[in-house]
Amino acid sequence: MILKTNLGDSSVYGGRPRFWFFLYQLICHFILPFALVRLVLRARHDRSYLNHLQERLGFGYGHHVNQDAVWVHAVSVGETRAAQSLIEAYLARGDSILLTHMTLNGRRAGSQLFGDAIAEKRLMQVYLPYDLCWSVERFLQIFKPKLGLFMETEAWPTIVFRCHELGLPLFLVNARLSEKSANRVRRFGGAGRALFQAFNGILAQTRLDADRYRSLDVKDVEEVGNLKFDIRMDKGLVESGREWHLALKAEGRLMVCAASTRDGEEAMILDAWKELLESKAIQPAPILCIVPRHPERFSIAEKAIQNAGFAFRRRSAWRDNPTNIAVLEVLLGDSMGEMPMYYSASDLVIMGGSLLPFGGQNLIEACAAGCPVLVGEYTYNFQQATLDALASGAAIRIDIQKQKDEAGSLVLALKKLLSNVHQIELMAKAASAYSIQYQGATKRVLALVDKKIGR
């Protein structure tokens, strides 16, 4: 079935997006078998990848569906966590929530965060269907949401244009746009601009993000701040982390958390850690906690730690808080949803994704735990948040230019900070203050969306 659209109406979409749209549909249908095969291959390591497979095609939702709900789309873990305060605010108003994801880990994070609301049938989780006309049409006909809030960078043409045609209010919330992504959109000319203009509003994280959307001639762009500053950390996990921290402090040891590391970064960090320990510059020797960004890489990180010859254990080896953590050189954080615990146990964070050109990961949660941060040179995905953290004294950027060697630069930065506990304490205070200073995005998003839909 090919969905009938008005994409030729240049007054709405600009230019000639009809050609691009049908070309896009052909490509989507062509790659569909490959997407399904990819899920099957991933299922060799985790059968859960095949759960709810029909939902990805617009089927299999069961008898109970949340119609007339506020629809929040959060592709994976980070977006789901960012949406937490917003979802809780709508639930408190009495709205029901339809929460969609693209990844298994995003769905798991949502189940963990909103378990009570799911049990009470106030929130329903499903996978967002693949962006095909027929799967999108079926999805929208079944759920009939009253409002859509897409998190950060999610702009699927079929869904966005169809919601526009149906008059379903759709907003891009906590929106961010790197210069690289903006240039990519410009290459599509009017079709790229039409996609973002089809939203009822772009609610951007920062002035930089808002200006990039406006540079594409997109209207209805507002700067509202970053929802990640409004995230509430699990008190139980924070308390567990503090217990770890006290146990290490009793031994006089510091802990460094390498958080959300990406492919290639673990090896770099482990090389730097070996050099640091062999230098005996910091005594007693600190402990390193490595937490890979993606669970499928836990085993890869474990092999790298083993090959480096460190005394280590996996977090999953303990059911409760470890009692002998102080005897380790490295801890592998192979658990989901426990980042507040790792941050609260640590004295310093190395932010993954920033040492190699991945664009960096979110440093706000580390700062909220009162943990200072070391970042590399690649932070373009969180540009403003990183710049603000650096300016406030909550973070330090590793100076790779002097060494022209990432591992060597990391060793120097670690030696400098870990040998100066007073500086770490000052940075920790700055980190807490920074995380509080920029709160309030949730209220601004609610107010703007209410205004635009006339609620």
Q: What is the dihedral of CA 333, 335, 337, 338, to 10 degrees?
A: -40
Q: Which amino acid is at 16?
A: R
Contact status, residue 7 vs residue 17, Cβ threshold 8 Å: yes
121: burial class by Cβ within 10 Å (0-12, 13-18, 19+)?
Answer: exposed
Structure tokens at 125: 């989780």
> In the β-sheet with 287-292, what is the strand arrangement from edge to edge?
312-314, 330-332, 287-292, 255-261, 348-351, 373-375, 395-397
Structure tokens at 48: 């859960």
Among 420, 425, 441, which Cα is nearest to 370's?
425
Residue 275 C-alpha from the chain's centroid:
31
**How many H-runs (helices) and E-runs (strands) does the chain carry?**
21, 14
CA pair distance 238, 397, nearest whole angstrom: 26
Contact status, residue 182 vs residue 215, Cβ threshold 8 Å: yes
According to DSSP, the residues that pair with 175 across neighbouring strands are 204
- For the chain, how many residues are written? 455
CA pair distance 318, 388, nearest whole angstrom: 37
Choosing from 79, 265, 302, 406, the catalytic residue is: 79
Residue 79 is a catalytic residue: yes
Among 199, 112, 186, 191, which Cα is nearest to 154's?
199
**b vs e for 317-345, b when ≥16 Cβ sit within 10 Å of the residue's Cβ?**
eeeeebeebbebbbbbbbbebbbbbbbbb
DSSP string, 239-286: HHHHHHHHHHHHTT--EEEEEEE-TTHHHHHHHHHHHHHHHT-SSSPP
Residues 6+ apart with CB under 8 A from 94: none
Q: Would you name the residues annotated as active-site residues?
A: 79
